[in-house]
Amino acid sequence: MAGVMWPDSEGNCIRASMVGSIMNDHLSKEGADKTFVMDLLGSPSFLGEFERYTGDKDVRDCVFYSLGACSGLGLDYDSFFICFTPEGAISLADHYQS
């Protein structure tokens, strides 16, 4: 996701619009794992646990890609996060707005 500007000159949050496509067209493929994600998206903005998630998925090993301020008002910053099981399989991926 490096090199993609957000928002563009018309105020569109390009990175956020890519999340659905990445999840549907790439991360849903059989065998998609942590190595695949890193090769596809490059170095994440930050690593860690997704502390605000309250579901039943393993969220201790996550990568976060900053998307920019995509809320319409430009106040809240969005991230694309992908979490992995201890074996490296994708356990959860989604668009998150702080």
Domain boundaries, the chain: 14-97
Strands (E), 1-98: 46-48, 61-69, 77-84, 90-97
DSSP 96: E
> How many contiguous H segments (helices) and E segments (strands) does the chain have?
2, 4
Residue 76: pLDDT band (50, 70, 90) is confident
Judged against a pLDDT cut of 70, whether residue 66 lies above it is answered with yes
* 17-21 mean pLDDT: 81
Q: How many beta carbons lie within 10 A of that of residue 73, not counting itself?
A: 7
Predicted TM-score of the model (pTM) = 0.76
Strongest mean pLDDT among 16-25, 29-38, 48-57: 29-38
Higher pLDDT, 8 or 22: 22
CATH of 14-97, one of 3.30.1450, 1.10.1060, 3.20.20, 3.30.110: 3.30.1450
